[in-house]
Amino acid sequence: MNWPIKRLDELMSIERGGSPRPIQQYITDKPNGLNWIKIGDATLSGKYIYETKEKIRPEGLKKSRFVEKGDFLLSNSMSFGRPYIMGTSGCIHDGWLVLKDTSGLLDKDYLYYALSSPVVFEQFDQLAAGSTVRNLNTRLVAGVTIPVPSKTEQQRIVKKLDAAFAALSEAQALVERNRANARELFESYLNGVFEGKGGWEAKTLGELGKISMCKRIMKHETSPAGDIPFYKIGTFGKAPDAFIPKEIYQEFKKKYPYPKKGDVLISASGTIGRGVVFNGQPAYFQDSNIVWIDNNEEQVLNEYLYQFYKVCDWNPSKGATISRLYNDDLRRIKISFPSVHEQKKLVAHMVELDAQTQVLETTYDQKLSELEELKKSILGAAFNGQL
């Protein structure tokens, strides 16, 4: 491969965005507003940015950076180094770098593939190495190099990559559909069970037990390390990032509601209705955001409840997506159930099917990962002259 290698600053102007502050003063819904392009307006799977959720007043442009249709954006922090092509015009904040072709030597799609390739990402990665927060700036990006063959060769490469990536996208879509179908099939089975049968009893969750939550923990009572894990809604079901002293834990556990081993904790905000079975290990949970039913299992097993929560309609009366599950809403939800003996048999079958579904999902996730690696491999070959 005898392609010329050029620095990006030989081919393009590279500038950083800017943010008028406080930005709230510049946000507008007027028709003459300029597109305000944020990181959230781009998607990990997208190539173009066509629209924005917000607009700013024209006077905000004086403290921002205007970008035109066809310009390239690079994220300099989140979705690190990810390129996007502008499908519209607007203003960018300082989380973006804008690259404008000034050389006339580059095919737009070739440049997109080049900036997406492992050849370039590895340079970004090395440049940002050692930083606490990985960040790109104009000086670092300026020194990144890409191969620049003739435009005819660039277009040949683009044609081959377009064809390969179209086939890979079809394969990915098929795998994603199969993965979704596996989960939907399991949930369909659960829905069929919880619809109930003749002779089954039906009660509201409020009739099964009291809706309970832990005593409120104040921010000053927590620390990044300590004795007892404190789970907030953001770490519910994950690793904790806050802890409380053992003395507070023991006092509050004794004086206020606390879950029993086997109780099913429910997320009441964020992703509504996520269930986690309490394992009995010392821990504390954020009040009102994480709740449970103080269930004695004489009527309904906790394991049966746990499976029910996976397909429960948490908002049957409102229709719109809810942002919080209130205690009164939770109390009103109805559940049908057979005898405890029959529940045990049903739960055993549910657990087995769920395990099989998870095996399928893991297999499909691996396939998706392999397809992503194949994309990187193809891009790497293209820019090493081995396509």
pLDDT in tens, 337-354: 999 999 999 999 999 999
CATH, domain range 5-148: 3.90.220.20
Q: pLDDT tens across 207-216, in order?
A: 999 999 999 9
CATH 3.30.70.1140 at 201-337, yes or no = no
Q: Which pLDDT band, with edges at 50, 70 and 90, does 95 fall under?
A: confident
Q: Which pLDDT band, with edges at 50, 70 and 90, does 197 fall under?
A: confident
pLDDT at 270: 87
SS (H, E, C) 118-149: HHHHHHHHHHHCCCCCCCCCHHHHHCCEEECC
DSSP 212: E
As given in the structure block, the two tokens for residue 9 are 């600053």
Tell whether the torsion through CA atoms of 232, 234, 237 and 239 is positive or negative: negative
Tell whether the torsion through CA atoms of 41, 46, 51 and 57 is positive or negative: positive
Average pLDDT over all residues of the chain: 91
Q: Distance (Å, rounded) from C-alpha 57 to C-alpha 23?
A: 10
Decide if 359 contacts 182 (C-beta within 8 A): no
Give the up-direction half-sphere exposure of residue 366: CA atoms within 13 A in the CB hemisphere.
Answer: 6
Q: What is the pTM of this model?
A: 0.77
Q: Which pLDDT band, with edges at 50, 70 and 90, does 85 fall under?
A: very high
Q: Distance (Å, rounded) from C-alpha 146 to C-alpha 129?
A: 20
